[in-house]
Amino acid sequence: MNCEGGERRRASPRAALGRSGARRVRPDGVGGAPRGLIAGAAIRGGEADVPHFVVNSYHGPAWIEGRPMREQDGWPEHRAFMNGLPDGFVLLGGPVDDHRQRAMLVVRAVDLAEVHRRLDPDPWLRSGHLVEVIEPWEILIGAPP
């Protein structure tokens, strides 16, 4: 899936590397806000445990309130970054609450380090347009796409 609604080819799930202990992670950028409570999480079933994370992105200090998302500074770079993420990493994503304050991603990654490695270079994170909270997600009902 890409930022303009197109589809990406889906990759096969990766095996989990294992569970980690809970820890609070602080960002290296915007205002010292917490990045999220992190713990290893995996769903059981199929051939392997596959961790999933929910990434909630909130407007940061560089966000210009009242300006639509696609008119914010750096939108083309953010869109290109999101569209360039590897197939199978982002399972679902998009703005929540009519584009007002938050966007949400559901991602599949072997661990928290992979989530950070893939998302930290986002131009909107680096510029302060977004602040993220990342949480593990144990899926108990249904199955991810």
Strands (E), 61-101: 90-96
Report the DSSP beta bridge partners of residue 136: 53
**DSSP code per residue over 11-43:** PPPPPP------EEE--SSSTT---EEE----B
Q: Which amino acid is at 90?
A: V
Residues 133, 35 contacting (CB under 8 angstroms): yes
Residue 60 included in any domain: yes
Cα–Cα distance for residue pair 30/78, rounded to 1 Å: 17
- Give residue 144's pLDDT: 74
Q: Which of 18-22, 63-67, 74-78, 108-112 has the lowest mean pLDDT?
A: 18-22
* Candidate from 23-27, 61-65, 131-135 with smallest mean pLDDT: 23-27
pLDDT digits (tens, 9 = 90+) for 88-144: 999 999 888 765 688 999 999 999 999 999 999 999 999 999 999 999 998 888 877
**15 domain residue, yes or no:** no
Q: Kindly state the DSSP code that residue 69 receives in the 8-state scheme.
A: G
Whether the pTM exceeds 0.75: the reply is: no
Residue pair 40/113 in contact by the 8 Å Cβ criterion: no
Q: Cα-Cα-Cα-Cα dihedral of 43, 21, 108, 114, to 10°? A: -160
Q: Is residue 84 part of a domain?
A: yes
Name the token pair of 131. 């602040």
| pLDDT for the residue 61 | 95
Q: How many domains does the chain have?
A: 1
| Listed range (31-45, 52-66, 75-89) with the worst mean pLDDT | 31-45
121 located within any domain: yes
Residue with tokens 């445990």: 49
pLDDT at residue 117, as a whole number: 97
Looking up residue 91, the CATH number of its domain turns out to be: 3.30.70.1060
- pLDDT at position 46 is 41
Answer yes or no: is 11 within a domain: no
Residue 18 belongs to some domain of the structure: no
In terms of residue numbers, what domain contains 46?
A: 25-137
